Amino acid sequence: MLLSALEINDTGLTLLSPGAEPVVSPGVAVLDNRELLLGEAAARQFRLRPGNTNSQFWEQLNLDPLASTTREIRSSADLVYSHLKSIWNPGPGEHEVILVVPGVYSPQQLALLLGITNECGIPVRGVVDTAVAASRYSSPGRRLLHLDVHLHRMVISELEEGPLIRRQRSDSIAGVGLTQLADLWCNRIADAFVRNTRFDPMHQAESEQLLYDSLPGWLERMEQDGSALLEVESRGRRYQLSFKRHQLVEASQDLFRQIAEQVNARRNDAGVLVQLTHTARALPGLAEALAELDNCQVVTLEAHSGALGAMQHADQIRCDQDNLRYVTSLPWHPQDIGEASLASGAKDSLPTARQKPLATHIILDGIAYLPTPCLGLTSNSDGEHVLVQRDRDDTTRPHIHASASGLLLSDGHSWMINGKPAEPGQALRSGDQVTANGSKQVMLAISLDKKYG
């Protein structure tokens, strides 16, 4: 049985399957009588065909008629069906899928979504709350939150810690999503182009689309270096501009202040620990706005944390196809932030821009493996290492397992990381080179990231 996890977030639906590249597809559709574009192809037409574009169908998820319809597409549910069909392309063998959904969906929306997945032929065998599946960290005594960004809203979830991690409530903060932020930032960048070059990239649909297409890469460079050289080509001419990160932070500070106020209203006397998703952490200025709050600590989750957590807890989430239940609590074995981090202040808990992310996959002989939950290291007839999916009962052979702390190496074996003996409990990070038991074969740890939609 091949297990996959499908995380629902319209900034990029993520389908994780063992041994395969993650499939990431933004929740955008371009709809007219001639064709239907979905995902990345639609996102690259967003500014070229604004009257035919829909980026709210995942948020709305209902049977109400759309303003613009075709014979096949009459509601947002029809667009959701088409989007899911476009990314679900199973190979041979038996499959099962765990669905990871945000806590703001109503029971009616969840029922509709399960009906759609059934029509798509997606074999859903479990449904779990995103915040519960994604959570990794604990700071005892503080209120624990999970904060995620969608295309048109933020979702903030309150969590209760104990033997189980339990989602108490989730709230949608409308009007503060990736779409609104991209509009703010692109308009600020366009204003700077006008002032410095007299070229307005918003004047033509083609250059406006190029501006939005380029934004994710620009954000990444500004996050790393504090500034970036921006370039837009229009009608055979190239226009360049040096732009600083703080200019984006200034543009979005009012929106992020709203988020900070929502977080502040949920903290208890001891403070609050905010788990930012990887996508939310990449928004310039959000983490800093939160860290300015009193007794607020901010940590960043790894990419695809909801889907990864669902696969790690598959045994607790799986259920019979005819009796699916919505899992909002799971066994809780968190990674403690630690008193040293608390004493040093919230800003110190923010990862630096150049810190390597936690690894999510292992590459051996050109093949990427996702531990679900464990990869055993065995030898073939030629004495070469082979990775196979397995459980953790057999401790006689080296294995790599997924935990709340990342990918960890089995105890009692001679592991080397980057040419040095591995420390007990050391988590693998992207780029780490790993060998076992004196072998010359090198495994590479990597982190698979997702881009903005």
pLDDT value for 393 = 60
| 31, pLDDT greater than 50 | yes
pLDDT value for 367 = 77
DSSP of 40-84: HHHHTTTTTSGGGEE--HHHH-S-PBPSS--SS--BHHHHHHHHH
Q: Does domain 361-446 have CATH number 2.160.20?
A: no
pLDDT value for 356 = 65
| 160, pLDDT greater than 90 | yes
pLDDT over 90, % of the chain:
59
Number of other residues whose CB lies within 10 A of the CB of residue 383: 8
| 450, pLDDT greater than 60 | no
pLDDT value for 443 = 87
| 97, pLDDT greater than 90 | yes
Phi, psi for 370 (deg, rounded to 5): -110, 115
- Domain extents in the chain: 2-131, 361-446
Q: Which of 10-14, 35-39, 372-376 has the lowest mean pLDDT?
A: 372-376
pLDDT value for 452 = 35
Residue 124: pLDDT band (50, 70, 90) is: very high
State pLDDT tens for residues 41-94: 999 999 999 889 999 999 999 999 998 888 889 999 999 999 999 999 887 778
- Inter-axis angle of helices 245-266 and 205-225, to 10 degrees? 70
Cα separation, 53 vs 8, in Å, equals: 20
Average of per-residue pLDDT values in the chain: 87
Of 265, 246, 256, residue with least CA distance to 289: 256
Cβ–Cβ < 8 Å for 99, 115: no
Homologous superfamily (CATH) for 2-131: ATPase, nucleotide binding domain (3.30.420.40)
pLDDT value for 368 = 76
Cα separation, 173 vs 156, in Å, equals: 8
**Structure tokens belonging to residue 179:** 């779409």
